Chains A and B, each alone.
Chain A
Amino acid sequence: MPPKIQMEPEPGDQTPEVGSATDVAPLGRGASKPAHELTADEDADVADWDRVAATEEFKELLASKRRFIVPATIFFVVYYFALPVLVGYAPRLMETRVLGLNVAYLFALSQFFMAWIVAAAYVRVAGGWDKTARRVIERLDSGRKEG
């Protein structure tokens, strides 16, 4: 995929060469806006958004994302907040000794593995969404050629 924006500085470009991650707004460019700053009105001529949104594939994509992301988010938020809630409101339980440690520390440690597992599951599922999204775009392209 070719790059979206020509990012080579133009002659006379005064953007400092600090180029940190946050150096996002090229300074001193008088010319046209970079793509990421365009508003919806300025960047409208890309596709018929309503038509894309109405396709079955797109609806299926959204539904599929919702099916994973909503429960996964609820799960990790509940699991995470269970730690401060239990530590704060059930201190006796959390101080129970296990394996020379206590429940509080082991539960905190388990949060790291929980985070890694949820992230891994997300990446697995999201690979499928990429394919669906590509199909949506391809269909749009072929539709346009026919028209």
Chain B
Amino acid sequence: MTTSLLMFLVFVAITLVITYWAARRSTGSSAYFAAGRSIKGWQNGIAVAGDYMSAASFLGIAGIIAFQGYDGFMYSVGFLVAYLTVLLVVAEPLRNAGKYTMADVLAYRLKPRPVRAMASLSTLTVSTFYMIAQMVGAGALVSLLLKDSGVTYRSAVIGVGVLMIVYVVFGGMLATTWVQIVKAVLLMAGTILLSILVLANFDFSFAAFFDAVRHVTYTGADGRPVTQDFLQPGLRYKPPYGALDLLSLGAALVFGTAGLPHILVRFYTVPDAKTARASVVWAMGIIGVFYILTTFLGFGAATIVGRDVIAKNGGTNMSAPILAQTLGGDIFFGFVAAIAFATILAVVAGLTISASTSFAHDFWTNVIHRGTERAPGEEVKVARITAFVVGGVSIVIAIVLGPTANVAFLVALAFAVAASANLPVIVFSLFWKRFNTRGAVAGLGTGLLASIVLILISPSIMTVDPPTVTGAARHLIQANPIFPLENPGILSIPLGFLGAFLGTLTGREPSAAAKFTELVVRANTGLGAEKATPH
């Protein structure tokens, strides 16, 4: 067993013990339920940050910046600015109206069965996309750690993926607010430490660091060395469609966050609107610092390690861990790998639970059985089966995509689906009186369908590879892409809005319009959300 593997296992064990201890210490039988009463703004803020900073942020963005320079930093910018949409548009109305999920908001004014069915389908899809990225990250990480023993990426994804799902489903992982807090703190500590090591490598001179960033040398496609200015935009998003693709990515990121099921729900775990705001602000502080530091992780990997070495050692997603190994040796590598792994495990836990409870509760019980459980424990059973199905699908797709797929790019697709399907209906149900059940179903349906179809006919799935490209790196469909952009948002988000708009116009639903005043009063005053005081 190598030093780094040993350190990795030790650190993962320590992380799990800390989270278990922290979760136990919190009062009440379940930290989440207790959180509903006593959590402070800053605690919830760190938890939001923990939920948000997945494998995509730590492994993915560092990887894109290390390979394609400046364009990767656009992900960092979008991931933070997105919180303004959350803060200004959706967080407070949702919290004030006393709603937990998108399904709750929609079902409030509209017909519960059809909208809950569509909402759970959308939640399931977004969670699966998100999960695929985590699986790719976990597989690449573990196969890098076990490189000497000859474990392939494919067996790593299957092994780790199945282990994680089993662990989550059978309740070993206490996916509480506290897990996210511990994880967020560790991730920040690792990132800050790594950034300091990068700067130390340049004798703490920003000038020297950025000078190196302007002259990065790597082996080009033709096998000859290329020197490239990595601060120059356009290395990933090239003409003729690069500029549009960048816009499309930007739209998905900034509008997608407000539609992510596992983020929305965090705003109900706080006692009042003030705390909800405080938690967004705390989250924005932490997340912002983290994403600014991706400059050092990504460009550090590009300048100190170099693309060529990373490409031979697990590819784009392994940029940050390999940078840690180069700068801090095997022990630090083990530490950073363990943080990345804990991050993935925590996010997988949150996603699995979100997807499976949404399906079991919203779809199985509320839609199929009209709100009553047939047999005791049935919902739990359905939720467990759903978790395994979602996990299994993610594992299979992660294997098909292969280790070279960048996880930040994959997560951006989940954001695109959320922005196209979820955001239009959330916004309309909060702000448009006439919005009705048909509109919600049509909006969710068009948004989902448009984003998925556009992804399937995009260059990331459809591309003609030269014969030199073999194995997992080959694209799924060997044909010219029908849709020229790798990010669908620029077309699928307007389509989602259009679907919701046109669907609404096809029908009249006086009962939905009649409840609008009530929703507006609740969303703006919090009246009724805190109605425990008897009058």
Question: CB within 8 Å of B: which residues of A?
Answer: 1-5, 7-9, 14-25, 27-28, 30, 35-41, 43-44, 46-47, 49-50, 52-53, 58, 61-62, 65, 69, 72-73, 76-77, 80-81, 83-85, 87-89, 91, 94-95, 100-102, 104-105, 108-109, 111-112, 114-116, 118-120, 122-123, 126-127, 129-130, 133, 136-137, 140-141, 144-145
Instruction: Say what secondary structure dominates the interface of chain B.
Output: helix
Q: How far is the CA of A44 from the CA of B274 in the complex (A)?
A: 25
* Min CB–CB distance A132 → chain B (angstroms): 9
B521-A73 in contact (CB<8A): no
Produce 1/0 per residue, B347-360, CB < 8 A to A.
Answer: 00111011001101
B517-A36 in contact (CB<8A): no
* Min CB–CB distance B47 → chain A (angstroms): 7
Residues of A within 8 A of B108 (CB): 38-40
Residues of B within 8 A of A73 (CB): 84-85, 88-89
Q: How far is the CA of A39 from the CA of B98 in the complex (A)?
A: 11
A80-B81 in contact (CB<8A): yes
CB-CB nearest in chain B for A23: B353
Query: What would be 20 A-B contacts, judged by CB atoms less than 8 Å apart?
Result: A1-B272, A14-B377, A14-B379, A17-B30, A18-B174, A21-B262, A23-B357, A24-B101, A25-B101, A25-B357, A25-B362, A27-B379, A30-B372, A35-B98, A39-B112, A40-B518, A87-B246, A88-B243, A104-B232, A108-B76
Q: How far is the CA of A88 from the CA of B266 in the complex (A)?
A: 35
Contact A58 to B98, CB < 8 A, known contacts A19-B31, A105-B70: no
Range class of the B interface residue count: 35 or more
CB-CB nearest in chain A for B250: A84
Partner of B73, one of A21, A22, A108: A108
B207-A119 in contact (CB<8A): no
Residues of A within 8 A of B524 (CB): 58, 61-62, 65, 129, 133
Question: CB within 8 Å of A: which residues of B?
Answer: 28-33, 36-37, 47, 51, 70, 73-74, 76-78, 80-81, 83-85, 87-89, 92, 98-101, 104, 107-109, 112, 168, 171, 173-177, 179-180, 206-207, 210-211, 231-234, 237, 242-244, 246-247, 249-251, 254, 261-262, 265-266, 268-269, 271-274, 277-278, 280-281, 284-285, 288, 291-292, 349-351, 353-354, 357-358, 360-362, 372-373, 376-380, 383, 511, 515, 517-521, 524-533, 535
Given A18-B173, A53-B517, A61-B525; 18 other pairs, CB 8 A cutoff: A8-B28, A14-B380, A18-B176, A21-B51, A25-B361, A36-B268, A40-B108, A52-B521, A73-B88, A84-B243, A88-B237, A94-B233, A108-B74, A115-B84, A119-B281, A123-B277, A123-B278, A130-B274
Partner of A84, one of B74, B84, B207, B281: B74
How many A-B contacts if CB must be within 8 Å?
283
Residues of A within 8 A of B37 (CB): 3, 7
Q: How far is the CA of A2 from the CA of B38 in the complex (A)?
A: 11
A136-B292 in contact (CB<8A): no
B81-A14 in contact (CB<8A): no
Q: How far is the CA of A62 from the CA of B249 in the complex (A)?
A: 33
B281-A19 in contact (CB<8A): no
Contact A20 to B74, CB < 8 A, known contacts A88-B243, A109-B292, A137-B527: no
